[in-house]
Structure 1
Amino acid sequence: MRELNQRAVLQRLRDHGPATRPRIAADTGLSKPTVGQALLDLEQHGLVRTAGRTISGPGRSAVVYEVNPAAGHVLGIDIGRGLIRVAVADLAGSVVARLDTRNKARSAGALLQSVRSAAEDAVAEAGLRMADIVSTVVGTPGVPDHRSATLRRAPNLPGWERKGLLNELSSLLGTDLVVENDANLTAIGEYEAGAARDADVFVCVTVGTGIGMGIVVDGVLFRGAHGAAGEVGYLPYGWPPPSSPPREGLLESAAAAHSVVEMASARGLSVRTAKDVFTLAREGDARALEAVEEEATRLAFMVASVAAVIDPALVVLGGGIGKNTDLLSAPLERALAHATPLRPTIVPGELGEEAALTGAIATALRTARDVVFERRGQAL
């Protein structure tokens, strides 16, 4: 009962911010003496702290309590083809150290060492040791298969699908590690702090070097039976498939960043990146606009397929291609109007390149807060 009371008080402070003992008692339904004892225990073990006293109203001032954000720290890592992004956050979710480093690795072993080095640098920048980190969440392309400790369907990271890779990551970063698909973490990031804050059922599609999707239902990720829910890059665009299908999915082959370059090049444009194509489109180049229209049509195939199966209230577009919603929205809507009566609202992501890292921190915090309570509460 004592532990339940402590949890109730701690949750009240996390959900609604600093408060006095009478306010906490009123909000939780616990008696003032019970709240007082719970606060004393929590303060003793470093989970809450005093934040001053009330200064308004008649009578004596009252002590204000708040969650102690320094009671623990979490580590979030987003491994991308071009960049490794790392952040350290306290238990309030405030980022206390942030680091980006270029991913120059051409093998799994080199990438593992780069990830470890970036993590150590960020933790040191926060004035901490790796042993101080309560929970670590890594976002990466691919589908984690925990039975074989392997990442599947991560063709854009050389060697990243080798057997036992998840064990190697745990060895480098600590046993309190969660490895999650980066599109799933992008969805969580947009749900926690971005475009999907008020959405009960939504999908978040990332279109860049590859194509991925995170599915959230009532605030919870839907992963499917084998963790591959949302692998829309494998939708059979251009069916029937070849006799020897490529490692890359058919939709991903047709609509990822390299495809935008190919569509523009086929129209006589000299471009190196998808960003170049969208820049020219914004300047009114007719050939670039045609390539964007074709890309939107291919993405409409994906949205129509997802809408028929999941019926999301919202489709959030992210990634390097997805962030160009200003150019993609109109042709997307035109294509959908010819394909399906099921047309969910399509919006751009609000967090941009920070979305997956935001999701990693949010996921790590869900675990860390309980872990810290359990560790600190063992002596109670």
Structure 2
Amino acid sequence: MTTPPWNRQRLRSNNEWLLLERLRHEGPASRAQLARDSGLSKPTVSSALAALERAGLVREAGTHTQGRGRVAVLYEPDPGAGHVLGIDIGRARLRTAVTDLAGTIVSRTEVPNRGRGAASVADAAVACAEQALAQARLAPGDIVHTAVGTPGVFDRTTGRVRYAVNLPGWGRPGLVERMKARLGTPLSVHNDANLAALGEYTFGTGAGSRLFVYVLIGTGLGMGVVADGELFLGAHGAAGEIGFLPLDGVPRSGSAPRRGMLEDAVSADAVVRAARTLGMTGPLTAKRVFDAARTDDPAALAAVRQEGERLALAVASVTAVLDPDLVALGGGVGRGADLLLATVRDTLHRLTPLRPRVEASTTGDDAVLLGALSTALRVARPLVFDRRTARSLPAGTKQKDPR
């Protein structure tokens, strides 16, 4: 019985994708090494590499001398086959970066967020991204995918961002489409804490964790969960919105639920309020309180200790539900983890027998941006493969998804 052409093509496509991913994750390799690692025959590997090279997806990466003086050509993915864009929209700062398909950052920009309304913030983010594209000497058409990190949860049904209370007006309809139209690239929107978790998991202290939790403490309070390398989003994309956790009982019947009682107690503003209550004066920010604590200022030390105890309560609550093996503290307040960690760990020990490892973020302010880039790359790589390999298909043949 003759095998249908689409089955042969699907097998060829899968083999090419398998070899491309092997080169991406393990580094340059020869035909012989790829055959050993993949279990494919050498002729199959040679044919697949030739097709990938014609498609501009792999390139020669030098040579390697094998036994008896034989020289083998090494291959690697061609990073210039496509580019992605990441955008981090925060209340204080806007950050953007462009990477090639290898994940190497080729340009980045960062500016203060001076937008006074939702539309001006969206336009400022686009302008920041356009600067990054200009630095990289790329046009919007060169970007395979753009991933945007923002406070709140993007509702794909309505096209609106919900729960972004720290960006006034950010829930207005049409903002995402406005950014997409002005930027001129395919675009997806994601919760900033989720992206920070993915960025920390991929590039920071979360690497290798089975169930990783990232707590983003800054203007607001958020959390991202990475389980076996994949973000856990929940049924409606709101998993990790721990700012809604109540601290002081059940609201009276008929009253409106108040945003984030836990967020009210665990955030940059909460640190400042605690410091003022404890006697600090003058213009205060969370950073100034932490800086004062490092000089042993009693009021600042007490405010930081209170923040650590409340953070421990949040970690204990999350741990009882998710059982993570690692929790990372990040965000603006998370930068003070050197002062917070001892209190968080000690308080956690007193609160619960469930004690995950608690560490400081190592990606710092770049966590959300790195997560956006990682997300964009996950979307872009198979898209580029599909588009480039489809060009060499026989007429009428339908390309199959290699994933």
List alignment gaps of at least 5 residues for structure 2.
1-10, 393-403
Name the residue aligned to 2:8: none
Q: Deviation string for 1:308-333 (max 9, x for gaps)?
A: 11111111100111221221122223
Cα contact 2:66–2:72 (8 A) shared by 1? no
Q: Distance in 2 between matches of 1:346 and 1:224?
A: 23
Name the residue aligned to 2:319: 307
Deviation at 1:54? 1.8
Q: Distance in 1 between matches of 2:122 and 2:293?
A: 38
Deviation at 1:239? 2.4
Which of residues 234, 239, 260 in structure 2 aligns to 1:249?
A: 260
Name the residue aligned to 2:277: 266
Name the residue aligned to 1:50: 60
Name the residue aligned to 2:19: 9
- Tell me, yes or no, if structure 1 residue 161 matches structure 2 residue 171: yes
Which of residues 329, 346, 360 in structure 2 aligns to 1:317?
A: 329
Which of residues 363, 366, 372 in structure 1 aligns to 2:378?
A: 366
- Tell me, yes or no, if structure 1 residue 327 matches structure 2 residue 339: yes
Q: Distance in 2 between matches of 1:148 and 1:209?
A: 26
SS in 1 for 2:188: strand
List alignment gaps of at least 5 residues for structure 1.
none
Q: Distance in 2 between matches of 1:260 and 1:312?
A: 26
Name the residue aligned to 1:357: 369
Q: Distance in 2 between matches of 1:42 and 1:103?
A: 43
Cα contact 1:261–1:274 (8 A) shared by 2? yes
Q: Deviation string for 1:100-130 (max 9, x for gaps)?
A: 0111001111111111111111011111101
Superposition misfits of 4+ residues, deviation over 6 angstroms: none
Which of residues 209, 220, 225 in structure 2 aligns to 1:210?
A: 220
Name the residue aligned to 1:227: 237
1:105-144 paired onto structure 2 within 5 Å: 105-144=115-154
The code of the aligned residue for 1:144 comes to F
Range 64-73 or range 2-11, more displaced: 2-11
Cα contact 1:155–1:247 (8 A) shared by 2? no
Which of residues 65, 72, 77 in structure 1 aligns to 2:82?
A: 72
SS in 2 for 1:78: strand
The code of the aligned residue for 1:263 comes to A
Aligned residue pairs total 380
Q: Distance in 2 between matches of 1:200 and 1:335?
A: 24
The code of the aligned residue for 2:265 comes to A
Name the residue aligned to 1:345: 357
Deviation at 1:336? 2.2
RMSD over aligned CA atoms reads 1.5
The code of the aligned residue for 1:31 comes to S
Name the residue aligned to 2:308: 296
Q: Distance in 2 between matches of 1:137 and 1:363?
A: 7
Range 56-65 or range 295-304, more displaced: 56-65
Q: Distance in 1 between matches of 2:232 and 2:194?
A: 9
Deviation at 1:247? 5.6
1:142-181 paired onto structure 2 within 5 Å: 142-174=152-184, 176-181=186-191
Q: Distance in 2 between matches of 1:65 and 1:79?
A: 38
Name the residue aligned to 2:37: 27
Name the residue aligned to 2:109: 99
Deviation at 1:220? 1.1
Which of residues 278, 285, 288 in structure 2 aligns to 1:276?
A: 288
Q: Deviation string for 1:336-359 (max 9, x for gaps)?
A: 233222221110011000111111
Q: Distance in 2 between matches of 1:123 and 1:16?
A: 29
Q: Distance in 1 between matches of 2:227 and 2:122?
A: 33
SS in 2 for 1:278: helix
Q: Distance in 2 between matches of 1:25 and 1:179?
A: 40
Q: Distance in 2 between matches of 1:186 and 1:370?
A: 23
Q: Distance in 2 between matches of 1:105 and 1:3?
A: 47
Change (3 A) 1:62 1:336: closer
The code of the aligned residue for 1:15 comes to H
Deviation at 1:168? 2.4
Deviation at 1:40? 1.0
